[in-house]
Amino acid sequence: MVRTATCPICQKSLTKADGTTSEHIPFCSKRCQQADLYRWFAGKYAIVEDLDPERLAQEMFQAEDQTDTGE
Ligand SMILES: [Zn+2]
């Protein structure tokens, strides 16, 4: 029985089309790795069903904007 490892963020297979495995295990990409790090850091995605990396990336940008509120 073969278990295919999948990315916990986007559920994509960690095995690429050319047969090699992601270098960002257990994530499929650096982007998902960062998304997971952010999720853990923010703590507000502890329980969430379908994580959307696109949305996470958006919120990451918004969080960066918020550090800039000087005026
Ligand atoms: Zn992924």
Q: Are 5 and 11 in contact (CB under 8 A)?
A: no
Beta-bridge partners for 15: 21
Q: From the CA of 65, how far away is ligand 1's center (Å)?
A: 24
Q: From the CA of 67, how far away is ligand 1's center (Å)?
A: 27
CA distance 40 to 37: 5
**According to the model, what pLDDT value does residue 50 have?**
64
List the pLDDT tens digit at each of the 71 positions of the chain. Answer: 556 789 988 999 999 889 999 899 999 999 999 998 888 877 755 555 566 777 777 877 787 776 665 66
Domains of the chain: 1-71 (3.30.50.10)
pTM of the full structure: 0.51
Q: From the CA of 10, how far away is ligand 1's center (Å)?
A: 4
